[in-house]
Amino acid sequence: METFSNLIDLDSYSPDEWNMIVELAQQIQKNPALYRSRCSGKIMGTLFYEPSTRTQMSFQTAMLRLGGTIIGFDNPSTSSVSKGENIKDTTKIVSSYADILVMRNPYEGSAKAAALTADCPVINAGDGGHLHPTQTLTDMLTLKNEKGRLDHLKIGLCGDLRYGRTVHSQLKALSRYEGNEFILISTPELALPSYIKDVLNARGCTYKEIYSLDEAITGESLDMLYMTRIQKERFSSEEEYNRQKDVFRLDTEKMKKAPKDMIVMHPLPRVDEIAMDVDDDPRAMYFTQAKNGMFVRMALIISVLEGRLGAPKLLTGTIKNDVECTNPKCITKTEHYLPHSFKVQGDICECEYCDERILLD
């Protein structure tokens, strides 16, 4: 098995390598014409097992602006994939057509599973609620462009901190930079899970939990406020949702009280957690951020296709085929041929696909 410069999990690379991608994105942004034939003759295969128009278009545009071309699917119900083909076979075949694969799949660990069998590098464009590394790189480029740095920032994160994949990834990434401080703004029910807090603690990061956006905005001198959606279904009842939603909604009233240089970011799509008239505020950076996603993906495609990121091994743990991952959304639940690989520490096995921790009896 050949190994490629896949991007499955940002954690496989060092902050130096993240910085390299972000800096290349900045160069591309400054002079895109220099890169317009960089991937000429190369084909990207976009395997979208669930719809994500924005992410897919961002990747497609990135490839086209590098002179490459695209094949792929975005609707498994109209593809042979729905005839029950396993990821290995699909990946084997499409990677024999394409030079780079971009995969979106609702199962956690699916991108790693794809990378195990693909004959070309794989980029993870979201594997369920697990990882979405190119969103995190997009956030980092936006911070770097707007704030000039990725360290010594005071960052507010507002919304569903419990289930929010982008929030978790960003915290894991930004906690690797010195001096960052996090203000966690959510309901108690949607507070950050303890395993992410463990990461912050282990890295000596300061964080504070606050239950009102207003308080965070007025009381803390935030450099950046990261808004995310709170899905209605996360609340115990419709009434509870209606009672709470405004507390975590950003509007022009709140923006008036916010620091003059506090930029606002959002991974989009938004529903109504940011009022539309905030869009006209020069501190609103979410559309800029979306555009940055294209530049970061251009930088990433170049880095991956040119092998600039090294080729970290995909599975480094212990194969224990008798142990089953307990996460029902883990890719090992549907792709039965995958080796059950775990990082073992004492009687805890951490699944190498979805990062679930399993306590052995």
Contact status, residue 161 vs residue 189, Cβ threshold 8 Å: no
Least Å distance between CB 65 and a copy of itself? 7
Strand partners, 101: 45, 122
Q: How many CB atoms lie within 10 A of CB 270?
A: 17
Nearest to 267 by CA among 302, 245, 292: 292
- Report the alpha-carbon distance of residue 151 to residue 148 in Å, rounded: 9
3-class DSSP state of 156: strand
Q: Identify the DSSP state of 159.
A: S
Least Å distance between CB 22 and a copy of itself? 19
Asked if residue 26 binds a copy of itself (CB under 8 A), the reply is no
Asked if residue 54 binds a copy of itself (CB under 8 A), the reply is yes
Q: Give me 79's structure tokens.
A: 């593809």
Contact status, residue 157 vs residue 226, Cβ threshold 8 Å: yes
DSSP secondary structure, 272-325, as one string: SSB-GGGGGSTTB-HHHHHHHHHHHHHHHHHHHHTTTT----S--SEE-TTPPP
Q: Residues forming the annotated binding site for carbamoyl phosphate?
A: 54-55, 104, 132, 135, 268-269
Strand partners, 182: 155, 207
Contact status, residue 123 vs residue 134, Cβ threshold 8 Å: yes
Q: Residues forming the annotated binding site for L-aspartate?
A: 83, 165, 229
Asked if residue 152 binds a copy of itself (CB under 8 A), the reply is no
Asked if residue 71 binds a copy of itself (CB under 8 A), the reply is yes
Residues 210-269 that bind a copy of itself (CB under 8 A): 268-269
Q: Of the residues 132, 162, 329, 340, which is catalytic? A: 132
Asked if residue 83 binds a copy of itself (CB under 8 A), the reply is yes
Asked if residue 78 binds a copy of itself (CB under 8 A), the reply is yes
Q: Which is nearer to a copy of itself, 49 or 182 (CB)?
A: 49
Number of residues that bind a copy of itself (CB under 8 A): 49
- Report the alpha-carbon distance of residue 227 to residue 234 in Å, rounded: 16
**Cα–Cα separations (whole angstroms), residue 183 to 95, 214, 259:** 42, 12, 14
CA 171 from chain centre, in angstroms, equals: 11
Q: Residues forming the annotated binding site?
A: 54-55, 83, 104, 132, 135, 165, 229, 268-269
- Report the alpha-carbon distance of residue 171 to residue 115 in Å, rounded: 25
Q: Is 152 a catalytic residue?
A: no
Q: Is 136 a catalytic residue?
A: no
Asked if residue 61 binds a copy of itself (CB under 8 A), the reply is yes
Q: Of the residues 30, 83, 256, 260, which is catalytic? A: 83
Asked if residue 111 binds a copy of itself (CB under 8 A), the reply is no
Nearest to 11 by CA among 314, 329, 262, 293: 314
Instruction: Give burial (CB, 10 Å; 0-12/13-18/19+) of 93.
Output: middle
Asked if residue 80 binds a copy of itself (CB under 8 A), the reply is yes
The pattern of x and - marking residues 88 through 107 that bind a copy of itself according to CB under 8 A reads xx--xxx-xxx---------
Least Å distance between CB 239 and a copy of itself? 22
Asked if residue 326 binds a copy of itself (CB under 8 A), the reply is no
Asked if residue 72 binds a copy of itself (CB under 8 A), the reply is yes
Taking contact as CB under 8 A, which single stretch among the options 54-62, 242-250, 298-306, 320-328 is the one that binds a copy of itself? 54-62
Q: Which is nearer to a copy of itself, 82 or 221 (CB)?
A: 82
Q: Which of 34, 215, 287, 316 binds a copy of itself (CB under 8 A)?
A: 287
Q: Of the residues 65, 91, 104, 162, which is catalytic? A: 104
Taking contact as CB under 8 A, which single stretch among the options 82-90, 121-129, 207-215, 344-352 is the one that binds a copy of itself? 82-90
Beta strand residue intervals within 152-204, DSSP E:
154-158, 181-185
Residues 330-359 that bind a copy of itself (CB under 8 A): 337
Question: Which residues are tagged catalytic?
Answer: 54-55, 83, 104, 132
What residue ranges bind a copy of itself (CB under 8 A)? 36, 41, 43, 45, 51-54, 57-58, 60-61, 64-65, 69, 71-75, 77-86, 88-89, 92-94, 96-98, 268-271, 276, 279, 287, 290-291, 294, 337
